[in-house]
Amino acid sequence: MENKLQILVIIAGYFFLLILWGIYQGRRVKTDADYAIAGRKLPGWVAALSERATGESSWALLGLPGAAYAVGLTEIWTALGCVVGIITAWWLLAWRLRDEAEKYNANTFADYLARKHGDAGNTIRIVGSFTIVFFFFFYVGAQFLGGGKTLHTLFSIKPEWGMLFTALIIVPYAIYGGFRSVVYTDVIQALIMIVTLIVGPIAGLIYISNNPEIFATNVTEALRHAGPTHLSLTNGLKGLGAGVVIVSGFSWFFGYLGGLPQLSLRFMAISDERQARKARNIGIAWTLVAYVGAILIGLIGLAIFGPGTLSDQEYVMPAVILRIFPPYLAAFLIVGAIAAMISTADSVLVLSSTEMSENLVKPFRKSMDQRKGLRQSRYITAILAAVALLIAYISPQKLIFTLVGYVWAGIGCTFSVVILLTLFWKRYHGRAAVITILSGLIFTILWISLGFDQTIISVRFANFAFTLLVAIATTYVVKPGVPKG
């Protein structure tokens, strides 16, 4: 009971300071451009840390350690796909998207594509924004649901109350300060996450080497004792099966290539080229350290607890931290997992509200001054937060997390094709982009619904390949429209 009280006090204090910090940053928001993209004036270090906190969600603190604990070295392919994708995005795409956003004066992801492809700009604006808003309702709902689950595990409160509490943390500063508040709170969260992923593995390796009574005294021994598949890079499979395992794991790479709007928007918001280079270096360094740390925490958990002993593999990180640190320090480090979850929820919420405000509402309203535009953005954020929370309450858990999978494959991999061809192929045009978006979304839903994702190959790889073929074919077959104006 005393341990739980210490954890509760530290987490409550963190949340309180986070809300104050977010509201303080929101005081600098004066226009709807400030609200949507921080006026495209982000320092490089802020953009980098915000992008990494948002990009990892609870994946780096809960998902990846849990997967490493459950399957061993096979999970390296997933980590490698993510790391290579992130490095490619920062090295190849970040500065280009920043320059393009400035050139076209774009405030949102869909706004950039619409302005770039003037021959089908209005259609792209509507189709792209509607798609993002619809799917990201469920993405935000999933984060609320994850918050309820985490708080239930830590404090045995009902998940429904945990979801409400999570929403009450995020919504005030997200409504008030929009993108600016979100990115600056992300900075705090990214720092806590990286501290957890550095301190946790170092202390964990020391702990297992000095405690012979646990399952294993080092990582290699733990993998060997856990079974032959844990030491295998292909889960014990050979030939075609091994190839499928490798491709499926590495296929997370394709979602990072500009197709996730909540990440690309941070590239677009960087102030200048010098800051873009600084952001690239910080983003890549953070990623390398974080992924090594996440894998190690999972393997340290395997050494401490043995295989299959945890009721939920994704709580191996909190279990390890609580075992090796005193409660007050463990609470601070566990906040990293909650921080990761919050950083995604607030980012996706604000992204959805600005996409709706800028691309689905504002074009159909008479011109309004900056104050009214900012008020409209805040109202829409509040409405979307309420709808997302309602979805989290009424939807089956399986449905929400299935739709999150659709987001990564259907939106991430589809829009990656659109962004790559938009940036690097002059012949690619707006009508082809619209067909690409619709084809990728339909293909993703069919591929997963028919069970091919589990029986043939990852929907991420399949959708990227299919969408790329569609994009190339339609570019040649369909004639571009005539740009307006």
Selection from 219, 174, 200 nearest residue 18 by Cα: 174
- For residue 402, the model assigns a pLDDT of 67
Q: How many domains does the chain have?
A: 1
Residue 225 belongs to a domain: yes
Q: Is 308 left (phi over 0), alpha (psi -120 to 50) or beta?
A: left
Any bridge partners for residue 42, and if so which?
270
Residue 5: CB partners within 8 Å, gap ≥ 6? none
What pLDDT was estimated at residue 51? 95
Within a domain: 45: yes
Query: For the domain that residue 290 is a member of, what is the CATH number?
Result: 1.20.1730.10
**pLDDT tens digits for the chain (485 residues)?**
566 777 788 888 888 888 899 999 999 898 888 999 998 999 999 999 999 999 887 778 888 999 999 999 999 999 999 999 999 999 999 999 999 999 999 999 999 999 999 889 999 999 999 988 888 887 888 778 877 877 776 777 888 888 888 888 888 989 999 999 999 999 998 999 999 999 999 999 999 999 999 999 999 999 999 988 999 999 888 888 898 889 888 988 998 999 999 999 999 999 999 999 999 999 999 999 999 999 999 999 999 999 989 888 888 998 999 899 988 888 888 877 777 777 788 888 999 999 998 888 877 766 666 777 788 888 999 999 998 888 888 877 666 656 666 787 889 999 999 999 999 999 999 999 999 999 999 999 899 888 888 778 888 899 999 999 999 999 999 998 776 65
Phi-psi region of 211 (alpha: psi -120 to 50; beta: other; left: phi over 0): beta
- Angle formed by the axes of helices 159-209 and 121-155, nearest 10°: 70
CA distance 149 to 165: 11
Q: What is the pLDDT of residue 309?
A: 92
pLDDT at 400: 61
- For residue 475, being part of any structural domain is answered with no
Residue 461 within a domain: no
Determine the pLDDT at residue 209.
95
Cα gap 245→68, rounded to integer Å: 14
CA-CA distances (angstroms) from residue 333 to 3, 23, 219, 284, 329? 14, 24, 22, 22, 6
User: CB within 8 A of 242, min separation 6: which ones?
Assistant: 234
Q: Which amino acid is at 31?
A: T
Q: Which amino acid is at 252?
A: W
Domain span at residue 245? 2-396
Query: What's the whole-model pTM score?
Result: 0.91
Helix 327-355 to helix 159-209 angle (10° resolution) is 130
Confirm whether 410 is domain-assigned: no
Does residue 181 sit within a domain? Answer: yes
Instruction: Check residue 184 and give its pLDDT.
Output: 94
Kindly state whether residue 451 falls inside one of the protein's structural domains: no
Determine the pLDDT at residue 201: 97
Domain assignment present for residue 200? The answer is yes
DSSP letter at 258?
S
